[in-house]
Amino acid sequence: MPENRPFVSLTTDFGAAYSGICVGVVYSIAPGANVLVLSDEVTPYAIKEGALLLRQALPYLPVGVHVGIVDPGVGTARQPVAVRTGRGDVLIGPDNGLLVPAAESLGGVAAAHRLENPAYRLPGVSTSFHGRDVFAPAAGHLAAGAGLAELGAATDLLPLELPAAVIRNGVLTVTVLYADQFGSLILSAGRPDIEAALGPIAHGTRLQISWTGVSVKVPFEETFGRVATGDPLVWLDSSGQVGLAVNQGSAARRFGLSAGDTLTLTIA
């Protein structure tokens, strides 16, 4: 960790108030740390959404301690963990797959340890707020100089099961991974998938998108401004994922789609 002003980030589905409490715990243990709330607006319980946000964002943050908390299994047998990455970061959060894509984007998992040492927790651990009582204290102690192995025994991590695109000649079948804050739908495919199924497609090509009882024609475009306000488009987001959006509108609301829905894409 850097000697001056260790860096800590926090990503949660808590909202501002509960995330602010976690920040306060970090500062109470490591008052010299630089703490960033990357997001407190992950959709509640949406592990895949949180995992993909961390994967997309953390490579652009300084090496540090990065806390991710989307934890619908809080208080159950799931383990709290800390993960050292190949880049040198430590990721802290529940062992429910949330941290794995980000770790892979930061050089892979170099080591993982359970957060079980009571010396690095708050004195009273609740059954429902491990962000405050377990994860934030661990982050604070690491930022203050504690060693990863001091937190608990080494462990293996549970994987995150992400749906894969299904590629057939002329047909791409994808799953909606999540809707972002604008209502744009992020799909389980990237440029290699769409080109493997549909071939190299130029911007402006119209795609037929179908799901249960519905079929619409939508252009594949480079950017939102290439279609009129209120019109839909398929585009590649800033991390290379295929998305379905509406210019200055919500594709989720327009089409009634949400995480887990399946779509097929063909050339119109």
Q: Would you say 108 and 124 are in contact if contact means Cβ atoms under 8 Å apart?
A: no
* Residues 101 and 28 occupy one common structural domain: yes
Whether 253 and 202 share a structural domain:
yes
Q: Is residue 161 part of a domain?
A: no
Q: Which tokens hold the place of 217?
A: 């024609």
The reply to whether 125 and 31 lie within a common domain is yes
Residue 30, domain member (yes or no): yes
Structural domain for 207, as ranges: 166-267
Question: Where a domain ends, among 128, 151, 174?
Answer: 151
CATH number of 206's domain: 2.40.30.90
Residue 24: C-alpha distances to residues 81, 82, 131, 208, 217 (Å): 21, 20, 11, 50, 49
Backbone angles phi, psi at 84, to 5 degrees: -90, 135
Below-50 pLDDT ranges, the chain = 1-2
H helix runs in 2-62, sequence order:
16-29, 47-57
Q: Which pLDDT score, from 0 to 100, does residue 96 have? A: 97
Burial (0-12, 13-18, 19+ Cβ within 10 Å), 171: middle
Query: DSSP string of 143-159?
Result: HTT--GGGGS-B---PP
CA 112/CA 233 separation, integer angstroms: 41
242 half-sphere exposure, CB direction, 13 A CA radius: 25
Q: How many residues does the chain have?
A: 268
What tokens does 60 get?
Answer: 């652009």
Residues 187 and 255 in one domain: yes
Residues 13 and 123 in one domain: yes
What is the structure's pLDDT at 3? 54
Residues 128 and 252 in one domain: no
